Structure 1
Amino acid sequence: MQQDPEVADRVRKVIADAGVTQREFARRIVMDPSKLSRSLGGTRRFTAAELARIADTGGVDAGWLLGAGGRAEVRDVPSPPRRERAFAAAAEGGRPLQIVRETVRLVAERGFHAVRVADIAEACATSTAAIHYHFPGRDDLLEAAVRWCMDEDTARRAARVADAADAADELRQLIELQIPRTPQQRWQWSVWLDLWAEAARSTAVGRLHADYYRQWRATVADVIRRGVDQSVFRPVDPQSAALRLTALIDGLATQVLATTPAADGANPGMDSATSGTDSTTSDDMHEALLAYVDATLTA
């Protein structure tokens, strides 16, 4: 069944009124940009949950989006409670992004299967009905959490390497970003580890996982290729070198999280008893990666 083409026209108006790119709007409503593009092009129907998020983020009536009356103007939204305003201020992009961020935090702390929708609702100072309004099921939340982590990681990489002197410096900056030192870095690695397990069971998440790693390895391979051209790296095969380096990063990060407790409480499930002479620290990981690059890549 085809969707009314006027729905796509109204969504385009909402995006234009928001004053952002289509990709940025997709990020705000926590939707795959390619799905948004296909829906706007008429080859895919918007789901009810997607239209609800579009209306909520754009501040328009859902009925107007569907052509059932209502207003296109931005609604007057009642002032939320103080705690809710604090969360909203820290969650650029509105309630859906707030929900995703809290989901990521809770998954990092407890693991995906230990996190209930009620836990997420409590963290967001809202109801489970409000969570389901934006994300009908747990799978929707998991997919959105994966996309958010991917986008955040990509943005950090772009910002970190913007001023790199050459490809060798750029690779060192990329490596530094992968070291789980800060609470945020440890949380994100914890999420990745949990999602790798989920990827084995979920087709949707599995595709996202494969796409992300294809992009990540391609980024590393491109840096190595440029390093070879700049004569700062040896004449190696960029794809093979990237595969080995990213695999080493994954393995070392897993060891750091598994054997070294977070001094700042970033990993509540870890205690000092797990740390000993055989532990792998973030400094150990950094040193090992740089030594590997020097031994196998540096000209």
Structure 2
Amino acid sequence: MQQESSSRVADAVGDVSARVRQVIGEVGCSQREFARRIVMDPSKLSRSLGGSRRFTVAELARIADAGDVDAAWLLGSGAGAGARSGPRRGNGDAGGNAASAAPEGGRPLQIVRETVRLIAESGFHAVRVSDIAEACETSTAAIHYHFPGRAELLEAAIRWCMDEDTARRAARTAEARDAADELRQLIDLQIPSSPQQRRQWLVWLDLWAEAARSTAVGQLHVDYYRQWRTTVADVIRRGITQGVFREVDPEFAALHLTALIDGLAAQALATAPAPDRLGARPGTEPQADGAETMRTALLAHVETELAAKPAP
């Protein structure tokens, strides 16, 4: 297979797609889960497998990492009849930089996790590829092998945060007693009281600024917020049916509540104690005043604007 100048791989007869399907089958997970592991839009993966879109070189590098196969085999230039029996990468990194141990979840996810951490600490434009490479204990060549540019890294960071947020919401609300309890659980997940929650909010604030300047990032931002508001609207709609919420317009109520969450979270983060905004200073805990004020205000909003009033 030939690599095109656009960094998309020609696949006229479907050989590359067939090998990727083989890798997914050998890994033993769903197509959506595989997309999450390689930090790729599931719809792009589906279109590439179906032949209406070509894989990029970087995407195939991440697929090779997740499937523990040689990227050359995916391209049809390596020996071996099967994904697991085909040539392995062996050195763990591009550019001959041997890795002593494979990072948890694979190199692409490690790169994205460290990118998110560094964005939270310093802001996206202050983070250099060399910083990410140092955090991952690898080379800058390995970073570019999986994510050729900052745009790809930013998109991957957004997608990873979206997936993590969605997974936490599903786990947290699985055993909610009713819609009112489910909404309280969703609100609690948005309170920047723990280091992890604060880190994610700091990343979101940085990404909002990027979304205003970038069409690609802006579309991801729109898609995520559409999903988030739909989740909240569905909970409110169920609450109305259950009688725990009053008759309101679920979509407008969700828009109002999510906007209030965003504004209060920004204020809570802006008043965080310096210099450590992530609450990781040894021997101390982050101040919870802003977070607790946010929680109190949000629960008060739910009580006054949504909660069903008891019958007189």
Q: By percentage of residues, which structure has more helix?
A: 1
The answer (yes or no) to whether the contact 2:115–2:132 under 8 Å persists in 1 is: yes
Aligned counterpart in structure 1 of residue 122 of structure 2, from 107, 110, 119? 110
TM-score (norm 2): 0.87
2:20 maps to 1:26: no
Counterpart residue number, 2:5: none
Secondary structure of the structure 2 residue equivalent to 1:281: helix
The answer (yes or no) to whether the contact 2:113–2:157 under 8 Å persists in 1 is: yes
Secondary structure of the structure 2 residue equivalent to 1:136: coil
Counterpart residue number, 1:287: 296
2:90 maps to 1:77: yes
Q: Distance in 2 between matches of 1:246 and 1:145?
A: 22
Q: Distance in 2 between matches of 1:199 and 1:268?
A: 28
Aligned residues: CA RMSD: 2.4
The answer (yes or no) to whether the contact 2:91–2:98 under 8 Å persists in 1 is: no
Counterpart residue number, 1:121: 133
Name the CA shift for 1:265/1:296 in 2 (closer, same or farther; >3 Å): closer
The answer (yes or no) to whether the contact 1:198–1:205 under 8 Å persists in 2 is: yes
The answer (yes or no) to whether the contact 2:195–2:280 under 8 Å persists in 1 is: no
How high is the sequence identity, in percent, across the aligned residues?
Answer: 70
Name the CA shift for 1:82/1:175 in 2 (closer, same or farther; >3 Å): farther
The answer (yes or no) to whether the contact 2:129–2:140 under 8 Å persists in 1 is: yes
Secondary structure of the structure 1 residue equivalent to 2:182: helix
Aligned counterpart in structure 1 of residue 189 of structure 2, from 177, 188, 208? 177
Per-residue Cα deviation, 1:147-175 (whole angstroms, up to 9, x for no partner): 00000000000000000000000000000
The alpha carbon displacement at 1:61 in A equals 2.0
* Deviation beyond 3 Å, 4+ runs, structure 1: 1-4, 76-85, 262-265
The answer (yes or no) to whether the contact 1:183–1:264 under 8 Å persists in 2 is: no
Per-residue Cα deviation, 1:17-42 (whole angstroms, up to 9, x for no partner): 00111111111111111100000000
Per-residue Cα deviation, 1:216-258 (whole angstroms, up to 9, x for no partner): 0000000000000001000000001000000000000000000
- What one-letter code is carried by the residue in structure 2 that aligns with 1:28? R
Counterpart residue number, 1:272: none
2:216 maps to 1:204: yes
Q: Distance in 2 between matches of 1:42 and 1:82?
A: 34
2:153 maps to 1:141: yes
The answer (yes or no) to whether the contact 1:3–1:45 under 8 Å persists in 2 is: no
2:62 maps to 1:49: no
Corresponding residue pairs, total: 287
For structure 1, the 5+ residue unaligned runs are 270-274
Per-residue Cα deviation, 1:236-289 (whole angstroms, up to 9, x for no partner): 0000100000000000000000012279751689xxxxx9xxx96100000000
Counterpart residue number, 1:9: 18
Name the CA shift for 1:262/1:155 in 2 (closer, same or farther; >3 Å): farther
TM-score (norm 1): 0.90
- What one-letter code is carried by the residue in structure 1 that aligns with 2:51? G
The alpha carbon displacement at 1:65 in A equals 1.2
Q: Distance in 2 between matches of 1:166 and 1:151?
A: 24
Counterpart residue number, 1:214: 226
